Amino acid sequence: MPGDPLRSKFIAENFLENARLVNNVRGIQGYTGSYKGVPVSVMASGMGMPSIGIYSYELYNFFGVDNIIRVGSAGGTSERVKIRDVIIGMGACTTSNYAVQYNLEGTFAPICDYELMTAAIEEAKKIGASYVVGNILSSDIFYNADPTAREKWTRMGVLGVEMEAAALYMNAAYAGKRALAICTVSDHLLTGEALDADARQNSFTDMMEIALGVAVQMSEK
């Protein structure tokens, strides 16, 4: 699940065999095809936790999906990552109130599925991708009025900020399913470096190959 429908289209056209459009409600662009003989679907999630919260919930609970891998972009917040690095999100901190619905007596820690994560690390090594594994931040805010917010998360070891993973991880946990977020660093909040929109849409192929490789591994188990 990429956030951008055009990235969904790019993956379908460049990686899947016999890809066909199966869902275009609200322009979300969902395709089904195969990768190395394994059936794979790719569908956009839209932007933000409310959007991926709806789509991933329906996929898990109404359409029998067991594994969802988010492939998206992230802003780097750590010296440990650089532009175009792949971040494998072991955990997803969040500024969202998404977990309030579960009425928990405490703070839920959204984490990925271990099996998907270890498969992703194996695939990253296989293709020689530059990757880092660690904590990411799923934020509800893109333009933050607090100029010190980034520094606080950097101090806590957060590698990058994006806007969807925590809701995906919580939906997976509640449904008893698997989830993983793999993000490419598209801009860096420490150095000011940034890639343009076309590069973000079409050139982040390492994370796409990693995710598809994970799909193949899961089909063999």
Q: Could you read off the pLDDT of 67-85 as tens digits, one per residue?
A: 999 999 999 999 999 999 9
pLDDT in tens, 107-140: 999 999 999 999 999 999 999 999 999 999 999 9
Q: Is residue 187 annotated as part of the catalytic site, yes or no?
A: yes
First to last CA, the chain: 22
d(CA 171, CA 56): 7
Cα–Cα distance for residue pair 70/56, rounded to 1 Å: 10
Say which of 146, 187, 196, 206 is annotated catalytic.
187
Domains, the chain, in order of start with CATH, read 67-219 (3.40.50.1580)
User: Do the beta carbons of residue 90 and residue 117 sit within 8 Å?
Assistant: yes
DSSP state of 111: B
Q: What is the pLDDT along the chain (221 residues), one digit of tens a residue?
A: 999 999 999 999 999 999 999 999 999 999 999 999 999 999 999 999 999 999 999 999 999 999 999 999 999 999 999 999 999 999 999 999 999 999 999 999 999 999 999 999 999 999 999 999 999 999 999 999 998 999 999 999 999 999 999 999 999 999 999 999 999 999 999 999 998 877 776 678 999 999 999 999 999 87
Backbone torsions φ then ψ of 135, nearest 5 degrees: -90, 140
User: What's the mean per-residue pLDDT of the chain?
Assistant: 95
What is the reported pTM?
0.95
